[in-house]
Amino acid sequence: MTPDTVVVKYGGHAMSDAALAAAFADDLAGLAVRGMRFVIVHGGGPQITGLLKRLNIESRFADGLRVTDAATMQAVEMALCGEVNKAVVSSLSRRRVRAAGISGRDGGLLRAEVRNPALGLVGEVRSVDPALLECLFNGGFVPVVAPVASDPDGEPLNINADTAAGAIAGALRAAYFVLVSDVPGVLDAGKKLIPELDGAAVARLRDEGVISGGMIPKVAACLNALSAGCARALILDGRAPSGLRRCLSGGEALGTVIVE
């Protein structure tokens, strides 16, 4: 019997808090020994912004996505594939998790095309080839994926981490797709947590401006994953103690569950 596959999107903001980062790694280490197959797709927005600032390159955003010119793309790869990816791998390795750091460009995992010329080198995922992930699973590794894809000419494209994770969750027909963030979940106009949302409610709240900015790609990634065959999707409050373990072991919905 194939173990449950869990795709976790690990947010850059959640990684910036040392206590949250340690709790996440502890949770995952405890869950991995139970036989679940994990893929971690990490963000790195704060780390990219920090590097761009040191390089005197302005950060610009549109609809929650980073506008990416050639210089910014170089910085994105440096921050995501170097600094952030290896930090996540190291954190898991210290807990005896056999983690392997890759990017979406490795093994043709993520293929993409430019999403919108106004955003520059920001890609829309067109295909996912999970062969490399399956090889790592079979070797007993936890893949840790940096969200950079290849365009048709093999050049790098910046992919929103939520979008990349959702595409991978759908391709693997994962049992769970969990977005770990540093927010409670989706909030209504009164700033109260919405425990569950379907596609129609998401569209309405987006039209009303309640769902905006960085939450837009999060809910879109969940809906895309579900439509592609993923069983469950959740935007998890990563600040909750042992949130990932409680979600996957006890079924606690510590955030917003997204359904079709």
Residues 176-193 have a mean pLDDT of 91
Residue 1: per-residue pLDDT = 44
Q: Which two tokens stand for residue 250?
A: 């006890």
Residues 163-169 have a mean pLDDT of 97
What's the pLDDT tens digit per position in 35-88? 889 999 999 988 999 999 999 999 998 876 899 999 999 999 999 999 999 999
Residue 13: per-residue pLDDT = 66
Residue 19 confidence class, pLDDT cut points 50, 70, 90: confident
CB neighbours of 33 closer than 8 A, spacing ≥ 6?
none
**Percentage of the chain with pLDDT > 90?**
74
Residues 84-111 have a mean pLDDT of 96
The H or E element spanning position 256 is strand 255-258
What pTM does this model have?
A: 0.93
Using the structure block, give the residue that is written with the tokens 């980062």: 21
The domain locations on the chain are 5-258
Strands 156-158 and 148-150: antiparallel
Q: Which two tokens stand for residue 66?
A: 């980073």
Residue 214 has pLDDT above 50, yes or no: yes
Residues 96-109 have a mean pLDDT of 97
Residues 220-237 have a mean pLDDT of 95
Residue 12: per-residue pLDDT = 61
Backbone angles phi, psi at 65, to 5 degrees: -115, 145
What is the Cα–Cα distance from 170 to 126, expressed in whole angstroms?
12
Least confident of 18-22, 127-131, 218-222, 230-234: 18-22
* Higher local confidence (pLDDT), 32 or 111: 111
With CA atoms as reference, report the closest residue to 3 among 135, 176, 145.
176
- CATH fit for domain 5-258, picks 3.90.120.10, 3.30.365.10, 3.40.50.300, 3.40.1160.10: 3.40.1160.10
Q: Estimate to the nearest angstrom the gap between the alpha carbon of 108 and the chain centroid.
A: 18
For residue 169, how many other CB atoms are within 10 A of its CB? 34
Residue 254 confidence class, pLDDT cut points 50, 70, 90: confident
Residue 237 has pLDDT above 60, yes or no: yes
**Which of 13-22, 23-32, 118-127 shows the highest mean pLDDT?**
118-127
Q: Is the CA virtual torsion 210, 215, 216, 222 positive or negative?
A: negative
Q: What is the DSSP letter of 175?
A: S
With CA atoms as reference, report the closest residue to 161 among 215, 109, 217, 113.
217
Q: What is the DSSP letter of 4?
A: P
What's the pLDDT tens digit per position in 131-142? 999 999 999 999
Residues 122-126 have a mean pLDDT of 96
Residue 245: per-residue pLDDT = 86
